[in-house]
Structure 1
């Protein structure tokens, strides 16, 4: 490790220690956090089961940057490259369409055997796996409805798919010794104002009851439900609204997923965490970056990411929160997108940990809002970057922008040779 990095770290430690912050301990805490990195950034949400199927469900990926993964082997290679540039040991979040099998299998008939190569790879890499049923980009979702569909046969198809997905999630957790979070998101909704808002939600509730009927070992699998305010093609009405899933999750003890891009543009999930934490045993976060009508931009170190991290740290919510990423951008190098988003999420958590929370809390309780504001502002320019550099160097990954040269080299030697 270069001496300048160590020296800067030691000087930073002294500044933080003056406020009672043990930086070495903070880095131990950071190393224990696992970010679930989403596989679908690597191939533009195409998957491998129905690769020729057009994207539906309000999902659209823009851009044509060369080098998208075309096979499970290429996707795993890209993930390995990304993880080699990110400090810590993390997880991979799979969608059902990413099965690695030569068998032609329908979504309602998927089994753990269709993902065995992912499990063996994860064991070798020391990674965990999370899972999602894929309730979009399928002929049985072409009209925009799945679990709330008015046709009982189509609805049953999606129920069986979600049940099979839970079994796969439980298998992942058992095999890898890391709890798998299996998250359900559906695109169901209307483009224009419906006559009946209640009936689809009744059908969805009944379908979810059937999906979750089998009790699974929570050490192996945890269920989550994910809401959305609107989507392309469902601008007027989404069956699985925030209110619906919050009620369902609370009533049925499921993780409630908060996606940073699934709410009104003036609404932020950081302000929801403390309230929700009082009533749930666990929360799933999908860290993304909303921008107008598109909710899935690469995560940057912006104000909302910093606020989310602050809430998790200051509210002592890290133990009950599962953090995953959810964005897809085909206009830039896809491996770089993973690295930027994951490193930024870790940076935000580190910065939140390097704040004198107790001193700020005491000032607030005493009504000393002057001290609260002064310390909050001063710590924004404390040298957390020196701590981050040390953490990267200690973890054996590139410091600062040095990772970009490795991505560019990988692009030249691997990605550009894949063709179109």
Structure 2
């Protein structure tokens, strides 16, 4: 796409938005606050590198498809991540799971992992001038096969996972300390029951006990932010999920933790966009996992849809950028993984751009004066405004391919890199 054409289209778009009282130059400056944490597991189908042939199993998680070009080593993963970041405007972070450490050919169980196993990632992040986030991995492990980890009634198993959590927090804190930006440490567990349980309370009491033990060591929020992620149900845990939204929200409020909202982890009629302002009345910060739940928690590649737009709009309308940590969570192995990565991330970024281009002051004025027809009409007219021209200019300013030009970049990367694996 020619630079002159992009600049001309932007100037025309700028005039249209100015008529609504929106300063597009200021919006592009505000986009610097939209920092998205990229989920590393899109590059390798949530496999990780605990063992040379590591593959996903258990926990109700599954990446479908077998498209060629999967990252089979940390070196290949970093190469792929570098390419992804080349094709994204704005700022990004990287979100790691505990199974993505460097284990140097040794068997390092999850209650034994340490900063040593992630120092390579910290050094990589320094080179990239970016931050890291971190997740404990409570699935794909023999001690998770019973369906219970932090809520297990087997004390040995429970303590194993508590130790894993403690070590993950230590690793995350060191990431934040070395990189000078707080690491968001997220905890999600698959614990639950396939059929109707009798002792829901007992399992939740154990989960609370485990969290209390895991969080016992105080860590400065300058280095580490602790989050917890709920789920409605999982495969093999259809009748009861120990870590429900009610449980974690209560715990987060009482203990000043972050609540993680994954828009694939709720009933299809619930909207995470509606939950953001509700939760932020009672917790200081929240964490988002933006995904596309085609059939509940199917983790499809994010697209620019109404659900994602509501999430972005709620954050932009209330200027919650310093209170909401934006992350992604999807994994598609049926198409080019790098293309999926870039497409999904750019879709999320577009949603935030559209949200910031909204004449919120005018819409709010009509709303408070009960001019609901006018509010609805303008919201509809905004859908036809040339936000794409502003997006292309945003890409141009960030020296990344505008419009559909990134498709060719991904195709070339597949030809020269992915096809040779």
Aligned counterpart for 2:121 among listed residues 93, 118, 132:
118
Deviations 1:204-231 (A, max 9, x none): 0000000001110101100000000000
Alpha-carbon offset, residue 352 of structure 1: 0.4
Aligned counterpart for 2:257 among listed residues 254, 261, 276:
254
Describe how 1:304-323 pairs up with structure 2 within 5 A: 304-323=307-326
Describe how 1:63-74 pairs up with structure 2 within 5 A: 63-74=65-76
Deviations 1:305-340 (A, max 9, x none): 111111111122222000000011100111111101
Describe how 1:126-165 pairs up with structure 2 within 5 A: 126-165=129-168
Equivalent position of 2:389 in the other structure: 386
Contact 1:135–1:146 (8 Å) recurs in 2: yes
Aligned counterpart for 1:108 among listed residues 111, 126, 129:
111
2-side partners of 1:53 and 1:125: how far apart? 28
Aligned counterpart for 1:401 among listed residues 392, 404, 410:
404
Contact 2:264–2:296 (8 Å) recurs in 1: no
Equivalent position of 1:194 in the other structure: 197
Equivalent position of 1:170 in the other structure: 173
1-side partners of 2:288 and 2:297: how far apart? 18
TM-score normalised by L of structure 2: 0.98
Residue 86 in structure 1 maps to residue 88 in structure 2: yes
Alpha-carbon offset, residue 251 of structure 1: 0.5
Describe how 1:286-301 pairs up with structure 2 within 5 A: 286-301=289-304
Equivalent position of 2:47 in the other structure: 46
Equivalent position of 1:19 in the other structure: 20
2-side partners of 1:3 and 1:410: how far apart? 27
Equivalent position of 2:61 in the other structure: 59
Equivalent position of 1:280 in the other structure: 283
Runs of 4+ in 1 over 4 A off after TM superposition: none
Contact 1:277–1:317 (8 Å) recurs in 2: no
Equivalent position of 1:8 in the other structure: 9
Aligned counterpart for 1:376 among listed residues 374, 379, 400:
379
Deviations 1:384-413 (A, max 9, x none): 110000000110100111101111111111
TM-score normalised by L of structure 1: 0.98
Aligned residue for 1:219, secondary structure, equals coil
Describe how 1:200-215 pairs up with structure 2 within 5 A: 200-215=203-218
Contact 2:56–2:62 (8 Å) recurs in 1: no
Deviations 1:141-181 (A, max 9, x none): 01111000001111000000001000111111111111110
Structure 1 residues 270 and 293 mapped into 2: Cα distance closer, same or farther (>3 Å)?
closer
2-side partners of 1:77 and 1:89: how far apart? 18
Contact 2:265–2:296 (8 Å) recurs in 1: no
Alpha-carbon offset, residue 53 of structure 1: 5.2
Contact 1:36–1:90 (8 Å) recurs in 2: yes
Contact 2:392–2:402 (8 Å) recurs in 1: yes
Equivalent position of 1:28 in the other structure: 29
2-side partners of 1:93 and 1:361: how far apart? 36
Contact 1:262–1:295 (8 Å) recurs in 2: no
2-side partners of 1:71 and 1:53: how far apart? 12
After superposition, the CA RMSD in angstroms is 1.0
Can you give the 5+ residue segments of structure 2 that lack an aligned partner in the other structure? none
Contact 1:131–1:180 (8 Å) recurs in 2: yes
